[in-house]
Structure 1
Amino acid sequence: MDLEFYKNQATLKQKEHRKTLEALKKKPPKNLDYLAQEVHDEVFRKVDCLQCANCCKTTGPLFTDKDTDRIAKHLRMKTADFESRYLRTDEDGDKVLQNLPCWFLNDDNTCSIYEVRPKACREFPHTDRKKIYQINHLTIQNTLICPAAYEFVEKIRLRTGVK
């Protein structure tokens, strides 16, 4: 997967993508949730996250209290020990990874804690959520990181005819 190509394309099309998503926010088609799910499924039949893992290499998820408790238990650690070993509190007061790439990313791009991974990881790139237009800023940001998010916005743009 040519990550540089996708990042360049996403950068070039930021304005166009933003315009498309804003238009969908102003006047969402009645079937937008259905269409978004259909496009999400189509994109992920073609994009193999294990060939990329750019999200795990370049961005860290937010860790909720439920996430830290669940992962610490899985690792047979106390939550406080897990947090002090792997996490830090960012400028917004959120718990995030101390370092990137993610501690739990294996050499083959699999996740060593996949079954108990954070909610943010399970939901990334958030292209299958209802009322996708509510997270336009995040979707635009994710097109720079995730080839699937880029493909998603491109296909939504074409399918809705919104320019």
Structure 2
Amino acid sequence: MRLLKKNIEKSIEYGEEKNFFNKLNKIYEEIQGGECRGCTSCCMESVNTFYIEFLNIYKHLKNRPELYMKLIPKVIEYYFLELVENRPCPFLDKDGRCTIYEVRPLTCRLFGHLSEREHNENYKNVLEENRESRDYFREEYGIEIPEEIVNYKIEYCKEFKVDKRAKKQERQSMIDDIFVIESSFFMKELITEEFLGTGLVSWFAYSYFDLDEAGDYRLDIMREYAEQGKNAILEKVLKKVIDDKL
């Protein structure tokens, strides 16, 4: 199962026809921005992203082909190495600025609006999932995920300042509203259930590789990286991506 570019284009057309992108932006506008020192400490993972959000970002980058071609190798490399090496979000530029800030997904926009207790509860869930992934790769493939990856935590930001934080109920309402939009793409069979809960980086990876192919490449690249500390397979994969046209 691959996220075919022709289906992405059909999805964008459908989203524009149904005014979904404007609806998404109205949801985003409900979130009050705050004061951020721009340390990018929170920009260290591929956040879960709704399909309509991916389409919004894809559309944004399609209109900026030079930026797209500059970002996509970094994005694909991040996808294949995220379980073996900690690295910042590939959508940051060399100065630590977000290159997709105006179309960033909901999770990024809500960072800082959660209470410290909620933030730590989320980390517990992430840690449990990471440990399950560690055990799975160890038992099924003999690949060790480094403990610094398994236990990595984005610390709660006490310096983010905002006049009005979005309450839990308000945040859930935003998620529900976006999911209603999301459901339309499933009903039109433009996307399938296999893609539920996909991270932003993975959306782009799946537009170049089908799920099984991406999984096989990831195993080979992780194994080579763990055993030899080099990325010969990854270099071949990236060349394939670069040679593919937008």
Q: Same fold (TM over 0.5)?
A: no
The interval holding the TM-score normalised by the smaller chain is 0.3 to 0.5
Normalization by structure 2: what TM-score?
0.28
